[in-house]
Amino acid sequence: MAIELKTIQHLCELSKLNYDEAGLEKVMGEMSDIIDLMDEIKSFDLTYDDTKDNNSIKFCDTREDVAQPSFPTEKLLQNAENTDGCYVVPKVVE
């Protein structure tokens, strides 16, 4: 099933990815094939029950509430454009 243009555009919006026209065309084709492969799972007819997962832990295995010294600010920011100990972000448009 070919994926629709507006679906791929929506996915690009959710993913914060830009494609030029040719790129979008190409990825649409690829995504269509991939989704065909994914669609095979639709014929599997069991339903998911999250209470049956066996990955839960006991309450007592959570972390005790003890504050520890934080990290040096400059080390945290060593990979970022920063000023006055803050990350620099272009203006957010609302």
Residues 18-57 that bind other proteins (CB under 8 A): 18-19, 27, 30-31, 33-42, 44, 46-57
Q: Interhelix angle for 21-39 vs 5-15, to 10°?
A: 100
To other proteins, the closest distance from the beta carbon of 90 in angstroms equals: 5
Which residues, in sequence order, are CB contacts of 89 under 8 Å at separation 6+? none
**83 bridge partner residues:** 86
Distance of closest approach, residue 50 Cβ to other proteins, in angstroms: 7
Name the residue nearer to other proteins (CB basis): 21 or 59.
Answer: 59
Give yes or no for residue 6 binding other proteins (CB under 8 A).
Answer: no
| HSE (side-chain half, CA atoms, 13 Å) at 39 | 9
> Cα dihedral sign for 48, 52, 58, 59?
positive
Of 1, 6, 13, 22, the one binding other proteins by CB under 8 A: 13
CB of 28 to other proteins, least distance (A): 10
Q: Does 2 bind other proteins (CB under 8 A)?
A: no
Taking the CA atoms of 63, 67, 68 and 69 in sequence, report the sign of the dihedral they define. Answer: positive
By rule CB under 8 A, what count of residues binds other proteins? Answer: 71
